[in-house]
Amino acid sequence: MPKNPPESMQHHLRQRLNNRAKERWPQLSSVRVRFRAGFAYVTGKLPGDEEPLPLCRLRFTGVLHTWGFALYLASNGKYEDNFLPTGLPAGSPETPWTVRAASTSATRRPDQHSSTNLRGED
């Protein structure tokens, strides 16, 4: 079974993702990261919501600055491996957050284009 990153890397990743979320999606009250079997599962919380929104899953590659990326698909409740805008299957953990990954993973319909509407509501 793949191992989780050391505690210091986990702390660093949490900081990086929370900082990026504050820049890109200030409407999120927090971003939570839990580690399991070599993956970092990232969820976001909206103010007033009890239930966290699954956003993505990062695959630990053994290097702090390089993670694989899978987007959470609300349509089927599963994670789907994705390529980053660089065309590579792995990269900086912040990279997916620059391409509307979090907003797409919530409950968006294809006809919704706002990158700030995390619930997919009009």
Identify the pLDDT of residue 106: 40
Q: Are strands 78-81 and 90-91 parallel, antiparallel or unpaired?
A: unpaired
Under a CB-based contact definition with an 8 Å cutoff, are residues 35 and 70 in contact? no
**Would you say 105 and 55 are in contact if contact means Cβ atoms under 8 Å apart?**
yes
Q: Where are the domains of the chain?
A: 7-105
pTM check: above 0.85 = no
Give the chain's residues under pLDDT 70.
Answer: 1, 97-122
